[in-house]
Chains A and B, each alone.
Chain A
């Protein structure tokens, strides 16, 4: 890993009903491309918020290099798609902090135009955000993150609810950005997508279960410890592939549970 941009040291956090995360150690360096996986409620989004500084650790510490610039790409489900805002207006939001002028400068407009052009959205500047495809919507928010010239981009579930083509587009784009030295951290439920595209996976379930390359982290034991579910891991072209294991005993247990509640 290259020089550390931001790190969590022995961090614990809670929203009040039991610990959300315990004793987390995580370092993010320039050009890192990290996928955070784990079940719902495992603390993935909380981990992102702690990394970004949006939440403060209750125990342990967060260290970041001076002047660290962070771009955040929200989960599509949390975006108000009916808000009256066009593609260029969204991108320009990213240039709002950091002593920006009250009005949009010519340089900011040019940069917005160039960024949208680079991301294949050049013809959509004045379009309302709801009138875009899933992949285009993701790219608009990536453009908003990029306009702030970030050292680190954090993406919360960028692959949720998107089709296969969009997923590939998003992951390819993130690989390119990481290649330019921008650190990328994303959360996802798409185990095979991240195993194929990302060099580093962090498995989370209230703590960090494992942190390393897909080969190191995507093991049957780690998957069980992270998700509490039985999964088989097979290899395909040197990438691990996680497949759901059919468990007849589980089906029987669920039927019994069903009968019990009836």
Chain B
């Protein structure tokens, strides 16, 4: 078996880059999502974006444009509704995004000729990647990384304690909206390669693995992004040989790393406690 065989194909090379970028991007943005206790938003928003993509397809509008507008509006609506404390973020996400997903299904069930793209959008398909999508994802990645670089400190304060950040003079509502926009962009960019149903895992799993490895925010952000990129590469590579959907392969790779990190950190924690006990004598 030639281990470099998949790289002989242009479609694979493009798909490989796409998977690395998409997984890294999701892992980067996902760090904020996980730390804000809003893991469910990734799941919800990816489904909501699907509604926008479906509507765009039927109306003959650019897929990304439809998904972007729809995703952004959904993210802002979630932010708005979640601020009502009697409702809470999880319920707000549930209400808004499932309605949007249902609308997407309703539109598609009336349309014809979308079956293959439909499947790709749901589960991710590296075969469907074209250069325009790759360039778009690269553009989104550069934009997201730049904004996170510029807003690093404000995002950290807001994620740690939004209420106090407001007292210290941060414009919480605007920063919140910006974070929601970045999340929507990350989901739209990653949809083709990871699939609507699996993006949530790509947003959540790498940050959770990184959290097991560090207590420092800056380190967690870098570790999460690196884990996302590496598992994206490994997952896509394995998908070629195992002949499974790219999104599923990436997510299963991440889940495997999570299990290893979880067991490893539990063992390390136990050893540290035992050392502490020995040190006490």
Q: Which A residues lie at the B interface, using CB under 8 A?
A: 52-54, 70-72, 74, 78-80, 83-86, 89-90, 92-94, 96-98, 100, 102-104, 126, 128, 148, 154
The stretch that binds A, out of B49-57, B107-115, B158-166, is B158-166
The answer to whether A89 touches B167, judged by C-beta atoms less than 8 angstroms apart, is: no
A residues less than 8 Å from B167 (CB atoms): 52-54, 70, 72, 154
Q: Which 3 residue pairs of A and B lie closest in terms of their CB atoms, listed nearest first?
A: A97-B169, A128-B215, A72-B167
Given A84-B35, A128-B215; A54-B160 close (CB under 8 Å): no
| Further pairs besides A102-B151, A102-B153: 5, Cβ < 8 Å | A70-B168, A71-B168, A74-B161, A96-B156, A102-B150
Chain A nearest CB: distance from B30 CB in Å? 14
Q: Which of B151, B156, B159, B168 has a CB less than 8 Å from the CB of A97?
A: B168
Asked whether B279 is an interface residue with its Cβ less than 8 Å from the other chain, the reply is no
| Chain A-chain B contacts (Cβ-Cβ < 8 Å), number | 77
What secondary structure prevails in chain B residues at the interface with A?
A: helix
The answer to whether B216 touches A89, judged by C-beta atoms less than 8 angstroms apart, is: yes
Chain A nearest CB: distance from B85 CB in Å? 10
Asked whether B214 is an interface residue with its Cβ less than 8 Å from the other chain, the reply is yes
The answer to whether B152 touches A84, judged by C-beta atoms less than 8 angstroms apart, is: no
Distance of A100 Cα from B169 Cα, bound (Å):
11
Closest to A54 in B: B167
The answer to whether A97 touches B220, judged by C-beta atoms less than 8 angstroms apart, is: no
The answer to whether A102 touches B149, judged by C-beta atoms less than 8 angstroms apart, is: yes
Q: Which of B150, B154, B163, B217 has a CB less than 8 Å from the CB of A85?
A: B217
Asked whether B218 is an interface residue with its Cβ less than 8 Å from the other chain, the reply is yes
Asked whether B170 is an interface residue with its Cβ less than 8 Å from the other chain, the reply is yes
Chain B, residues 132-157, CB within 8 Å of chain A (1/0): the string is: 00000000000000000111111011
The answer to whether A74 touches B156, judged by C-beta atoms less than 8 angstroms apart, is: no
The answer to whether A93 touches B157, judged by C-beta atoms less than 8 angstroms apart, is: yes
Closest to A101 in B: B153
Closest to A49 in B: B167
Chain B nearest CB: distance from A28 CB in Å? 15
B residues less than 8 Å from A70 (CB atoms): 167-168
Asked whether B211 is an interface residue with its Cβ less than 8 Å from the other chain, the reply is yes
Question: Number of B residues contacting the other chain (C-beta, 8 Å)?
Answer: 28
The answer to whether A84 touches B214, judged by C-beta atoms less than 8 angstroms apart, is: yes
Closest to A141 in B: B164
The answer to whether B216 touches A85, judged by C-beta atoms less than 8 angstroms apart, is: yes
Distance of A154 Cα from B169 Cα, bound (Å):
14
B residues less than 8 Å from A100 (CB atoms): 153
Q: Which of A79, A84, A92, A154 has the most CB of B within 10 A?
A: A84
The answer to whether A86 touches B216, judged by C-beta atoms less than 8 angstroms apart, is: yes
B residues less than 8 Å from A154 (CB atoms): 167
The answer to whether A93 touches B153, judged by C-beta atoms less than 8 angstroms apart, is: yes
Given A92-B153, A96-B157, A104-B153; A84-B220 close (CB under 8 Å): yes
A residues less than 8 Å from B157 (CB atoms): 93, 96
Q: Which of B154, B160, B164 has a CB less than 8 Å from the CB of A72?
A: B164
Distance of A100 Cα from B218 Cα, bound (Å):
18
Distance of A83 Cα from B215 Cα, bound (Å):
8
Distance of A90 Cα from B10 Cα, bound (Å):
47
Can you list 28 contacts pairing A with B, beta carbon distance less than 8 Å? A54-B166, A70-B167, A70-B168, A71-B168, A74-B161, A78-B161, A84-B35, A84-B211, A85-B156, A86-B215, A86-B216, A90-B160, A92-B153, A93-B165, A93-B168, A94-B168, A96-B157, A96-B165, A96-B170, A97-B165, A97-B168, A97-B169, A102-B149, A102-B151, A103-B152, A104-B153, A128-B215, A128-B216
Distance of A224 Cα from B217 Cα, bound (Å):
48
Chain A nearest CB: distance from B235 CB in Å? 25
Distance of A85 Cα from B211 Cα, bound (Å):
11
Distance of A52 Cα from B149 Cα, bound (Å):
29
Closest to A86 in B: B216
Chain B nearest CB: distance from A131 CB in Å? 8
A residues less than 8 Å from B217 (CB atoms): 83-86, 89
The answer to whether B156 touches A89, judged by C-beta atoms less than 8 angstroms apart, is: yes
Chain A nearest CB: distance from B182 CB in Å? 15
Q: Which of A71, A102, A148 has a CB less than 8 Å from the CB of B152?
A: A102
Distance of A170 Cα from B269 Cα, bound (Å):
32
Chain B nearest CB: distance from A82 CB in Å? 9
The answer to whether B153 touches A54, judged by C-beta atoms less than 8 angstroms apart, is: no
- CB contacts under 8 Å to A, within B198-243, are 211, 214-220
